[in-house]
């Protein structure tokens, strides 16, 4: 759009503002929304470049403002209403506090130390079954041992780790 055409649209918007606002308010159902949309239309016209010539300034400005208003309504409808946001603020926070986090880290460190003391095959079975979620049969095939041996070594690994971390056996 030429600078001349842009200035002409801005002048038209300024001169016919009240008329445009009334028509837009009827269309949108809100004078406040119409005013906001026309203000944003002004701002967009200030930045508008390379627009084709406008044959009907009134229709062009009304359509532009209506599109802006629709965009605004969509963005506002996605926002959480204030009463719902307040209700969310009253919900209890179930996340562990710093004390619980420190306690959990300490337990993990104890478990890692205990696992390092396990015989290599027992540790491998524990890791394959508990961390990688492999079935006992697949662990047995991978390590070339029986399923019964996997179950026995896994039980021994659990007992050792429970004793080393001070946790009761399950």
The separation between the first and the last C-alpha atoms of the chain, rounded to the nearest angstrom, is 77
DSSP state of 80: P
Look at residue 65 and tell me whether its pLDDT is greater than 80. Answer: yes
Class (C level, CATH) for 3-78: mainly alpha
Does 63 have pLDDT greater than 80?
Answer: yes
DSSP state of 127: I
- Classify domain 106-165 at the CATH class level: mainly alpha
Helices 17-28 and 31-47, packing angle to 10 deg: 120
Asked if domains 3-78 and 106-165 share a fold, the reply is no
Answer for the pair 127, 157: CB distance below 8 angstroms, yes or no: no
Residue 35, both tokens:
């005013």
Q: Which residues of 68-96 are buried (b: 16+ CB within 10 A; e: fewer)?
A: bbeeeeeeeeeeeeeeeeeeeeeeeeeee
Residues 79-92: tens digit of each pLDDT: 666 776 677 677 77
Q: Copy the structure tokens of residue 68.
A: 């802006």
Q: Any idea which of 22-31, 74-83, 136-145 has the lowest mean pLDDT? A: 74-83
Domain ranges in the chain are 3-78, 106-165
Which pTM does this prediction carry? 0.45
Q: Is 75 or 97 the better-scoring residue by pLDDT?
A: 97
Closest by Cα among 23, 71, 74 to 44: 71
Taking Cα atoms as reference points, which of 19, 96, 98 lies closest to residue 65? Answer: 19
């Amino acid at each position: 759009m030429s600078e001349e055409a842009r200035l002409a649209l801005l002048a038209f918007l300024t001169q016919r503002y009240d008329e445009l606002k009334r028509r837009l308010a009827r269309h949108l159902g809100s004078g406040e929304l119409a005013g906001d949309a026309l203000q944003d239309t002004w701002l967009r016209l200030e930045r508008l470049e390379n627009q084709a010539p406008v044959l009907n300034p009134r229709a062009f400005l009304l359509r532009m403002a209506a599109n802006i208003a629709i965009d605004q309504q969509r963005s506002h409808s996605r926002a959480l209403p204030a009463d719902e946001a307040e209700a969310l603020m009253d919900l209890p926070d179930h996340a562990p506090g710093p004390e619980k986090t420190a306690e959990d880290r300490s337990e993990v460190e104890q478990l890692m130390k205990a696992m390092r003391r396990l015989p290599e095959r027992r540790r491998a079975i524990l890791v394959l079954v508990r961390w990688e979620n492999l079935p006992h049969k697949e662990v047995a095939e991978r390590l070339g041992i029986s399923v019964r041996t996997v179950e026995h070594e896994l039980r021994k690994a659990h007992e050792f780790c429970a004793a080393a971390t001070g946790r009761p056996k399950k």
